[in-house]
Structure 1
Amino acid sequence: MKGQQSFNFQSAIEQLRETFQLDFVGLALVDISKKRHELKWRYVSGNLSTRYRRIVLQSGRGVAGLVFKMGKPIMIENVEAQLDPQDLYNHPIVLFEKLKSFGAMPLFQGDHVQGVLLIGYRKSNKMTEETFEQFKQAIGTQFGPFYLKERMKDDVIEQ
């Protein structure tokens, strides 16, 4: 994609992780070379392992897949209370990175979601609506070649 090469995503997510004292930041991007839209975690910071590299998500599956499909952010304050433990295999990044509280937002290019930005903590209840809103405000409307659509508070999907 045009413009991605000139923006240093790795540096940007590392700076976000440091600024907000996050345990994990990941950026999943659409692999447009495939016939079906697949998302892969391309840039991460604060990861516990490299298992994220093997995760390939399709629209509607996993955190990134849900955000990609709906085009709306997701925020989970407490993974153990809000997600069924038997359903965690559908959220491999949450499982592999031991995230207990996280938020994910779609990144648009044109009218299509082209990426998903995931931020998280390994402690429950650290990601609050206030924290997530402050994060979105700090990013502003641009993230490299992508933009964040204007959202209303009701747009956040809580599970």
Structure 2
Amino acid sequence: MTGQANSNFQLAIDNLKETLHADFIGLALVDLKKYHHDFRWRYVTGNISLRYRRIVLQSGKGVAGIVFKTGKPMNIENVDVSVMDGDLYNYPIVVFEKLRSFGAIPLFLDDHVQGVLLIGYREANRLTADKFEQFKHAVGPQFGPFHMKERLKDDFIG
């Protein structure tokens, strides 16, 4: 990725945070290396710590991993109701950033998920179904090749 793309992604999530009055927005991207791929939170805004940098995402694990593996959006309006306390360790970004309401959408390149965009609030019930729809539709051309892919499907996890 070029430096221009990097600054565009950061600017895009900064703008989304302001537009949707979110507490946190993160963009996890796959970085394909020669013999393995690395899936990490690359761009964040509204973070309260730098612990997100140590999270290595795995397909099928945690918020980004589940969305990455299934290719379907996930919306949790209230973490306290939807996620059992014993399962919170599976959601490190939620714990580290103290998110109580969050949603994530897959970002496709060709027919493969190459990224996950997460929006979060530190109060429960802030990300309603309507607000989640606003989030999905607010992702615009600033996300380049990810724009207007399968992410607008109506089925989601949550």
TM-score by length of 2: 0.91
| 1:121 shift after superposition | 0.3
**2:68 counterpart residue number:** 68
Which residue number in structure 1 is paired with residue 138 of structure 2?
A: 138
1:77 aligns with 2:77: yes
> How much is the aligned-residue C-alpha RMSD, in angstroms?
1.7
More helix by share: 2
Q: How many residue pairs are counted as aligned between the two chains?
A: 155
Question: Are the structure 2 counterparts of residues 131 and 152 from structure 1 closer, same or farther at C-alpha, using a change threshold of 3 Å?
Answer: same
CA distance in 2, matches of 1:107, 1:131: 18
The alpha-carbon deviation at position 150 of structure 1 amounts to 5.2
Q: Does 1:149 align with 2:150?
A: yes
Residue in 1 aligned with 2:95? 95
Identity, % of aligned positions? 62
What's the secondary structure of 1:86's corresponding residue? helix
Does the C-alpha gap of structure 1 residues 98 and 34 become closer, same or farther in structure 2, counting only changes over 3 Å?
farther
Distance 1:121 1:34, change over 3 A: farther
Q: Which runs of 4+ in 1 moved over 3 A?
A: 34-38
Alpha carbons 1:29, 1:115 under 8 Å: kept: yes
Deviation at 1:36, TM superposition (A): 4.4
Structure 1 residue runs without a partner (length 5+)? none
Cα distance change on mapping 1:74 and 1:141 into 2, 3 Å: farther
Q: 1:6 aligns with which of 4, 7, 25?
A: 4
When normalised by structure 1's length, the TM-score is 0.90
